[in-house]
Structure 1
Amino acid sequence: MTTARVWEFAGTRGAVAARFWSAAEPWYVAVLVHGYGEHLGRYGHVVDVLVRHGAAVCGPDHMGHGRSAGERALIEEYDDVVADAHTVVEAARRDHPDLPVVMIGHSMGGLVATRYAQAHDGALAALVLSGPVLGRWHVVDELLPLDEIPDTPIDTSLLSRDPAVGKAYTEDPLVWHGPFKKPTVRALDTALKRVNEHGSLGDLPTFYMHGAADELVRPRDTRVGLDAVGGTDLTERLYPGARHEIFNETNNEEVLADVTAFVEGVLT
């Protein structure tokens, strides 16, 4: 894997760990925004593809996730996560002031990335959304009314058709394996409504990609969000049979090739 430069900064609610990788002569910046309960360390193969493609790659572990500070998997306000992502983007811009920025958000990170694009109009050259939590999320709908959230482990077979992905997820000490926190569920509900209400992404080139067999973040729910925020330059791709983590799926080479082809199409 490409060697990372590690940076820790004072985030909105404590220390945030961020990482930077770079091609020898990068021609764009790619910002990775990871999903709920995980961390950026799970994206090593994604980083390698992007760096070989000519990117300077960066991204944070969100508050309460991975190597960042905070109570595990606790997020009380998603605009704080957006603000931390912006700190990383600004640091990358200082290093590469003339390069276009592409943001790539997976799952909950897709929600954060979409909100970032709304809040920082014109900051991104392109947006890539992988199985994004947008519109509505059945997990939030089911958990929000409960006084006590059950400690039900994730069915890791829903992540990918490759059983090695689920095994690695289960054995990863930096992945959160406990239940949702009630404030996090409330914050997700607020963020979903905020993004829906904010409106269109305008002419921002956006690539929406999703596993057609995703039962963790269902495409039909995401469709609600796309109808609310999708702009005039939206590309869509559903992968038949693929589950939630399309970057870790059995056809991940195809998926990542689609990402780099999209970036080339936009930036060149």
Structure 2
Amino acid sequence: QEFIYNSRGTRLFTCRWIPLRQDVKGLVFLCHGYGMECSRFMKGTGQRLSRAGYAVFGIDYEGHGRSEGRRCYIRSFDDLVDDCIVFFKNVREWPEYRRKPCFLYGESMGGAVALLVQKKTPGEWNGAILVAPMCKISKNMKPHPLLIRVLVKLARTIPTWKVVPIKDVIGQAFKDPVKREEIRDNPYVYQGRPRLRTAVEMLYTSLNLECQLHEVKLPFLVLHGENDVVTDPAISQELYDSAGSLDKAIKIYPGMWHGLTSGEPDENIDMVFEDIVTWLDMRCPPGSLAASPIRFSDIQTRRAMLACSSPLRLEDAHTRQPGMVGSLRHRHLTGQTNGASSVPASPMRLFDFRKRGLASSPSVPARDSELKCLRWMDHKGSDSCARGAARHDNAGHRLPPVMIR
């Protein structure tokens, strides 16, 4: 256990579980759910995976668990994701771990965090385990759409107020009554009402992820309880059906609830972890090393620079990354590409969405009426791109585009 500081000067709690009597097969990085923490709530996960030969690392998000910050206040989901990226990267650079396979592990809201981490650092992960991921919040847990619109407006002026009405999440997430009470007695677990800004950020994130499931390229295992009323198991099935990954698996457990790894009877939890460890072991045979350290982002950058007719700065190449070579498979995971490329004809920068870590997908139609509350974001992004378009002077000569940072 140790504390680190993020870029905003907030002290964050981190913890780890390391195998003692065997070589480390690979690294697993935990992303916990909303209101939860790593040291006690995810202790069982860390212990089970470390006994299976994996080094496990966890971090409490800002405002969660033992970390500093306003309790369970998420000002920006992007900040939360960036904190995880920095911590995970530092661990992976330790000499003894540089050649080890690395996996993301996310539960509930942590599943959304894991998907956004891999989206912002493509090609750096050997896979992800998503346990009841928050790709869509269940209708049973959301207020009425009219109330959502009111709360979105209020969040602009009173973002920290704890006034969002929701049902008892712990009571509906964890089936076993003994384990449920243990979670209620955990002083590091937040049990109050969500703050306005936090609820809005979670809503934005889930709605955007729902429209971007086809962009998931890394190997993954998604697990969901059939009777989950907190996050929607149908979206996990849609993630499996839509994802562009060549290596994907799904397991829907009949009769199980949201808390697959901590709220079910012991025999159910044993079954879930047996599936998780089996999936990991198939990708980490004894003595295996991580594949060639060719970064997917480097391949994208090189292709972008070759494809542009005008000089392209490195930062611009990385900015264009989300829509550049969407069909290119991770070279260091599959050892091949499918040869397809979709390089834009002209430079384009994702101004506002890139800052939030939630790139828009205008080609994917919105299937949820609640996406209406995001229209102000779409207008903002389109205005910025318009200001970055080509311009001409009075004589008809083309002027360089004005890039808005």
Q: TM-score, normalised to structure 1's length? A: 0.89
Secondary structure of 1:220's aligned partner: helix
- Aligned twin of 1:236: 250
Work out which of the residue numbers 256, 270, 294 in structure 2 matches 1:253. Answer: 270
Separation in 2, partners of 1:99, 1:171 = 37
Aligned partners of 1:196 and 1:228 also within 8 Å? no
Coordinate RMSD, CA, aligned: 2.2
Matching of residue 265 in structure 1 with residue 266 in structure 2: no
Separation in 2, partners of 1:174, 1:130 = 21
Matching of residue 15 in structure 1 with residue 11 in structure 2: yes
- Any gaps of 5 or more consecutive residues in structure 2? 155-162, 286-405
Aligned partners of 1:213 and 1:241 also within 8 Å? yes
Separation in 1, partners of 2:34, 2:244 = 23
The farther-off stretch of 111-120 and 187-196 is 187-196
Q: Which residue identity lines up with residue 21 of structure 1 in the other structure?
A: W
- Aligned twin of 1:156: 170
Q: Which residue identity lines up with residue 93 of structure 1 in the other structure?
A: R
Q: Which has the higher contact order (CA 8 A, sep 6+)?
A: 1
Identity %: 23
Matching of residue 52 in structure 1 with residue 51 in structure 2: yes
Aligned partners of 1:159 and 1:165 also within 8 Å? no
- Aligned twin of 2:127: 126
User: CA separation of 1:13/1:75 partners in 2, compared to 1, >3 Å: closer, same or farther?
Assistant: farther
Secondary structure of 1:263's aligned partner: helix
User: CA separation of 1:77/1:124 partners in 2, compared to 1, >3 Å: closer, same or farther?
Assistant: same
- Aligned-pair distance for 1:222? 4.1
Secondary structure of 1:8's aligned partner: strand
- Aligned-pair distance for 1:47? 0.9
Q: Which residue identity lines up with residue 216 of structure 1 in the other structure?
A: V
Aligned partners of 1:50 and 1:57 also within 8 Å? yes
Q: Which residue identity lines up with residue 185 of structure 1 in the other structure?
A: A
Separation in 2, partners of 1:152, 1:193 = 18
Separation in 1, partners of 2:14, 2:178 = 26
How many residue pairs are counted as aligned between the two chains? 263
Separation in 2, partners of 1:141, 1:152 = 7
Aligned partners of 2:62 and 2:68 also within 8 Å? yes
- Aligned-pair distance for 1:88? 1.8
- Aligned-pair distance for 1:144? 2.7
Separation in 2, partners of 1:13, 1:219 = 37
Higher relative strand content: 1
- Aligned twin of 1:209: 223
- Aligned-pair distance for 1:31? 0.4
- Aligned twin of 1:180: 194
- Aligned-pair distance for 1:57? 0.8
Separation in 2, partners of 1:193, 1:211 = 21
- Any gaps of 5 or more consecutive residues in structure 1? none
Separation in 2, partners of 1:6, 1:91 = 14
